[in-house]
Structure 1
Amino acid sequence: MLHPQARALLALIAERGVPPTHTLSPQEARAVYRDRRGFTQPAPPPVASVQSLQAEGPQGPIPLRLYRPLGTMADQVLPALVYYHGGGWVIGDLDTHDTLCRELANGSGCAVVSVDYRLAPEHRFPAAVDDAIAAARWVRREAAALKLDAERIAVGGDSAGGNLAAVVAIAARDAGEPPFAWQLLIYPATDQHRTAPSHERNGQGYLLTRDTMDYFTGHYIPDARLYADWRASPLLHPDLSRLPPALVLTAGYDPLRDEGLAYAQKLSEAGTRATHLSFERQIHGFILMGKVLAEANDAVRLCAAALRDALAA
């Protein structure tokens, strides 16, 4: 039941001999991930403004990019989504997710703040977590100066970024800080042990493979004893109650499918409002590929609409 467009994309990747991520150095992998945007991603839509910022981080400044949606004024106070890009904590940056952040901003009418957290293996766990938490705190602290509504700030991300967004929401609650307004978790990694059935079922042939996941995790968390740390595996946190409402989006042919579903279920069982939405015919990473996968554009629109509704005044 793989979507024909996804099947065609995978066939084209194989035909062109695109090297698997795990066969590349992190530097090479980052360049390939950045360069393939032109093939799979739609053109970046115009927004009202884009501003480069720097948050105060634990080991120096954290680059941010603030998007304000079309139709808004510079002095208009907006709700905001703090967004963490995917890429296995090893690849990805502000540019790889530029189009998606623009689409989410325009579709929701909310500002989007994209976070360029430190990457592994140069900066291993929990560096990305520390940056993610620091960036979200900085955005809330500077909300008035940024013309953002500090009481209507959500966190979100895809894949590794979904992992970080979930961890940020838990960390804020555990620290006794005001809760974030909402969570957007797009095929999040929630358990570093990677033992869910979908890892076996979807572990080969669907772009994100077991070898690539081992590559990412090996760079990010080389000590397997740390897999049980909830900052690495938020599914393992003993208390998922009193967290922001969440939309958890998964893909049917994604190795991470089952742990995303399990996270949504555990949120619901703990009394946290969570909605699970699955694109059963899609592969990991599909939401970035709207130029070649039509359902990606549907997914973006659904996420943006849910964000708009969640942060409505």
Structure 2
Amino acid sequence: MTPQSLLDPQLAPLFIDVPTPAFSDETIPILRQAMAGSPIAKAGVDVKAHYLDRADGTTLRIVVVRPLDATELTPVVVHAHPGGWIFGTPETSGSTLVDMARNSSCAVVSVDYRLAPEYPFPAAHQDVMAALRWVRSAAQDQGFDADRIVLAGESAGANIAAGVALRCRDDGDDHGIVGLSMVYSPLDDRAISRPAHPYAGSIGLSASHIRFAWTSYLRGVETDHVTLYAAPGRAENLTGLPPIFLAVGALDPVVDENLGFAQRLIRDGVPTTLHIFAGAPHGFDRMETAKVTIQLRELRNEHLNRCIAL
């Protein structure tokens, strides 16, 4: 059995004979330019940027995508984009944001958080927390339902979303969070030292890519001082989290830690939905026409709609 024989054939154009760029300090600027994304298509949605002031005098950009037929009180998805904490923008996830806004009747607030290694943890975490606070404080002016908020993200963004959910739980204020959506999330920095199953990371993003991303995100942080907000897999207790949607491909280098995280969530009484997609490497949903991507989006939207209906 070869990794190629396990790959979903519809994903082959994305991964076969397509080199995966190396992650390094030298390639980061190139990757950022390539992965910045195009302006978000406005078919059936309204797209607006907002700018929040940080304490250091800089501004945080957030992009709000909402359906044109949004009701007066619209549930909100606070979203963090993928990119290994080192690249990406809300526009990188443009089609994902539009899909969620149109098919879950939510306003999607995507955060243009600061990137590592220039801004290691907790910068991105703080930026998503700031966006969450803005959603609540601006709810009346923006027409948001501050009691129906879902945190969501893909890859590094899913990690950040989970860390924010844990922070809110520990602060004793759920901030109106009713759900958490996590797609192929790196969860535990210690997992990179453990052997994965033989096909994990064999196509596309590999364990070495994940290792570099973690090293960038945690630059300057001693191993013994990595918190559960940076690496949610380190949390000793997961009780008190909202209903969680987990999705990951069977060929993804983070599949094993997602499986283990789901087991711990279930053991700790957290309503958990887990989907493993056969033949799917990390980032498979960039192939938007593939049936597996369509299925992922449908399942994620079902979860969002269940959460906001509670």
State the SS of the aligned residue for 1:95. Answer: helix
> What root-mean-square deviation, in Å, do the aligned CA atoms of Structure 1 and Structure 2 show?
2.3
Over 3 Å counting, the alpha-carbon distance change for 1:53 and 1:219 in structure 2 is: same
Output the CA distance in 1 between the equivalents of 2:276 and 2:194. 16
- What residue is the counterpart of 1:10 in the other structure? 15
Matched residue SS, 1:9: helix
Pick from 267, 277, 280 the counterpart of residue 278 of structure 2. 280
Letter in 1 for 2:240: R
- What are structure 1's unaligned runs of at least 5 residues? none
* TM-score normalised by the chain length of structure 1: 0.88
- Aligned residues of 1:183 and 1:246 also touching (Cα < 8 A): yes
Alpha-carbon distance between aligned partners in 2 of 1:121 and 1:202, rounded to the nearest angstrom: 29
Count matched residues.
Answer: 302
| Paired residue type of 2:8 | H
Give the match's secondary structure for 1:182: strand
Moved over 4 A (4+): 195-198
Partner of 1:109: 105
CA contact (8 A) 1:226 1:232 kept: no
The one-letter code of the counterpart of 1:99 is S
Residues 1:49 and 2:46 aligned together? yes
Which residues in structure 2 correspond to 1:56-135 (within 5 Å)? Answer: 56-59=53-56, 60-72=58-70, 76-135=72-131
What residue number does 1:245 align with? 243
Equivalent residue, structure 2, for 1:216? 213
**SS of structure 1 residue aligned to 2:158:** helix
Q: CA deviation at 1:227?
A: 6.9
- The letter for the 2-side match of 1:27 is P
Q: Offset of 1:171 from its aligned partner?
A: 0.4
1:142-181 map, 5 Å: 142-179=138-175, 180-181=177-178
Residue 110 of structure 2: SS of its match in structure 1? strand
Contact 1:47 1:67 in 2 (8 A): no
**TM-score when scaled to structure 2?**
0.89
Percent identity among equivalent residues? 29
Q: Secondary structure at the match of 2:70?
A: coil
Task: Give 1:138's match in structure 2, choosing from 124, 127, 134.
Answer: 134
| Gap change, CA 1:201 and 1:56, over 3 Å in 2 | farther
Distance 1:281 1:198, change over 3 A: farther
Distance in 2, Cα, partners of 1:153 & 1:111:
10
Q: Alpha carbons of 1:224 and 1:254: their partners in 2 closer, same or farther (altered >3 Å)?
A: farther
Unmatched 5+ stretches in structure 2: 1-5
Change (3 A) 1:55 1:260: farther
Q: Which moved more, 1:116-125 or 1:132-141?
A: 132-141
1:12-27 matches, cutoff 5 A = 12-14=17-19, 19-22=21-24, 24-27=26-29
The correspondence for 2:33, drawn from 31, 40, 58, is 31
Q: Could you tell me whether the CA contact under 8 Å between 1:253 and 1:283 is conserved in 2?
A: yes
Deviates more, 1:2-11 or 1:256-265: 2-11
The answer to whether the 8 Å contact 2:184/2:246 transfers is: yes
SS at match of 2:309: coil
